[in-house]
Chain A
Amino acid sequence: MTDMPSQTAAPRWLGLWPAAMLTLFFLAPFGIMLAVSVAHRDVSGFYEWGFEWDSYARFLSVFFAKVMAVSLSVSLAAAAICVLLGFPFTVFLSAMGHTAQTRILVVLLSVLALSEVIIGFSLSTLLSQTAGIGNLFHWLGLIPEPRAYTPSLFALIAGLCYIGFPFAVLVLYPPVSRLDPELIEAARVMGASGPRAFFGVIIPNLRGAIVGAFILVFVFTLGSYLLPQLLGRSEHWTLSVHITDQAIYQSNLPFAAAMSVFLMLVALALVGLASLAGRERGAA
């Protein structure tokens, strides 16, 4: 009897497969990055293996503290906007007819096929002075002169949201469409107004999904290094941009690695906090 489950279940060695993948594609590169972050920079262009905290020490400056703050707030803002827009959007989407839902989801998915470069250049054209939306506003008489809306924080966040929005909707869609519509009707019968049922029943029941969408967009936009350069001013350059800059243009791999380790730790801490907040209290 005790042998039965192991016959029907997958062989035990199959469990090693995820472990192997994790080691190969995550732990090993991460180990290399850690090692490089404490290596000694060779000014002639590369690095020598060694152990020193110089790169970390260099990072602990007011300048990089600001960069870190900018990175986090830009990504947090993008994640918040995506969830704030994406959640009601998904709720309405799941109330639509089947074909309408499919069509809208296909359009959203097709946005995922666009690369960051295309999105960045399209938006910078769309927000430019010569060919952009400013001309439309001018023509409508809303503003006296056509003006550029890029580079700016607004343009940067708009770009990040454009990328993050489909991800938010895709994470939210399955749990939202699975939510029993009778839950809302029950709340209504029991005296809850529309908004009250929305905030008191829909949101608490989908808290996990909302936090999941938030974390996904946050982490995803945190790694964006093209859009800040295309759409933001230099003070909006995120840590990812600086990491790219150090690694590729300044050839300072130890410093780039140290910054990456830092970024990862902070991101992990935030993700941990968020998932703590998202956990249903008292649930098994």
Chain B
Amino acid sequence: MTTLRIEGLSKLFGTFKALDDVSLEIPDGKFVCLLGPSGCGKTTLLRVIAGLETPSAGRVFVGGADQTLVPTHKRGMGMVFQSLALFPHLDVADNITYPLAIRGVDKATRRARAEELLDLVRLPGLGARRVHQLSGGQRQRVAIARGLSINPQVFLLDEPLSALDASLREHMQIELRQIQQSLGVTTVVVTHDQKEALTMADLVIVMKDGVIQQAGAPMEIYHNPANAFVAGFIGTTNLLPCEINAGAISVLGHSLAAADGDRIAVSRGPASLSVRPEHVLLGAPEEGLRAEVTFVRDLGESRHVLMRAGDQDITAHLPPGGALRVAPGDTVGVSFRPGERVVVQ
């Protein structure tokens, strides 16, 4: 069992708090994405787990053993760095089996293991190449193979796919997830791309300013964000200021009765209403909030209608082929699908 547990972790750089009382538990074999805007402390958290930074407070447990003060090279973790950090002076096979060479594994075994891992990352026969003779995506795979060569208890990746173009990136996300599932290794991936997190993760951890905002399954976070930051960060959403009073949501001068399935985390007072664009419904002006259409973007698979109501922007994603015809300048009536309304602080 290699559960990764973090308790009350803080990290100060001078007086700057890069991590603030971070606690989390990652069950054995789970794929976790650390998600958050730039500078929120994702890399710092990963480096503390790897032992590359000493925490100012808190503990790191791997499989129940306290690893907080164990030096990096004795932790036996696999890691893929943002720069990949492949060794230019070694060929691909020697790069992949470097951790084994350090542990005194003999050459024949290392060769065999390199072959095995190259097959796993679908680069068979490239062991003799130099790193500079590989494409970006191939390097990525070599780095992943190297991180996995000792069958690590914990596999850490810092934005491993950020250097790839969009299509290769999507492909690698799926591949990384499949490799992880076939090996069952507890994996933590840093990303600031929410789509990437939703594609790969069992568990998504959203951070902001060194504090965990929410940890949960991707769809739970998507449908049930803990606060306005998470709602805005995961997927696209409409965030509107509202007022809660006796179970009714008052937004932009309209009062909506809470319906079954609406998630209202605030009992009364000012809050934020989050509605996904696909749950914004358009109708005749008298059927809801009056809004003026400012832009229509037809993408074939869906139609995006951008609107302005009062001082707020609202976006609706309509399915293709809908009967409703709107053009910029039209006035429409906006309503929010009952049961899909989320009210957060």
Contacts and interface: CB of A to CB of B under 8 A. Distances in A.
B130 to A, nearest CB: 7
B41 to A, nearest CB: 18
B89 A190 contact: no
B77 interface: yes
A44 interface: no
Interface string B53-90: 00000000000000000001111111101110101110
B99 interface: yes
Contacts of A205: 87-89
A280 B90 CA distance: 10
Given A189-B77, A190-B98, A191-B73, A183 B103 contact: no
Contacts of B130: 282-284
A82 B184 CA distance: 51
Interface in B101-122: 102-103
Interface in A181-210: 182-183, 185-193, 196, 201, 204-205, 207
B86 to A, nearest CB: 8
A186 B88 contact: no
Contacts of A185: 52, 72, 81, 85
A3 interface: no
A191 B89 contact: no
Contacts of A191: 73-74, 76, 99, 102-103, 150
A156 B150 CA distance: 52
A186 B81 contact: yes
A282 B88 CA distance: 11
Given A190-B102, A191-B76, A192-B102, A182 B50 contact: no
B83 A193 contact: no
A97 B81 CA distance: 23
A241 B88 CA distance: 44
A193 to B, nearest CB: 6
A201 B150 CA distance: 19
A183 B103 CA distance: 18
B103 to A, nearest CB: 6
* Size category, A interface: 20 to 34
Interface string B37-57: 000000000000011100000
Range class of the B interface residue count:
20 to 34
Contacts of A196: 102
A182 B81 contact: yes
Contact of B72 (A182, A189, A204, A284): A189
A186 B102 contact: no
B102 A189 contact: no
User: Which of A185, A187, A189, A280 has most chain B Cβ within 10 Å?
Assistant: A189
Given A196-B102, A282-B130, A283-B130, A188 B85 contact: no
Nearest to B76: A191
Given A180-B83, A282-B130, A283-B130, A188 B73 contact: yes
Which of B73, B87, B91, B103 has the most A CB atoms < 10 Å from its CB?
B73
B294 to A, nearest CB: 46
A187 B77 CA distance: 11
B83 A182 contact: yes
A183 B87 contact: yes
A180 B88 CA distance: 11
Contacts of B103: 191
Contacts of A282: 91, 130
A189 B50 contact: yes
- Best-surrounded residue of A190, A207, A284 (most CB of chain B within 10 A): A190
Closest 8 CB pairs of A and B: A186-B85, A190-B99, A182-B85, A204-B89, A191-B102, A189-B79, A188-B72, A182-B81
23 contacts: A182-B83, A183-B85, A185-B81, A185-B85, A186-B79, A186-B85, A187-B87, A187-B98, A188-B52, A188-B73, A189-B52, A189-B72, A189-B77, A189-B78, A190-B79, A191-B73, A191-B76, A196-B102, A205-B88, A207-B89, A280-B89, A282-B130, A284-B132
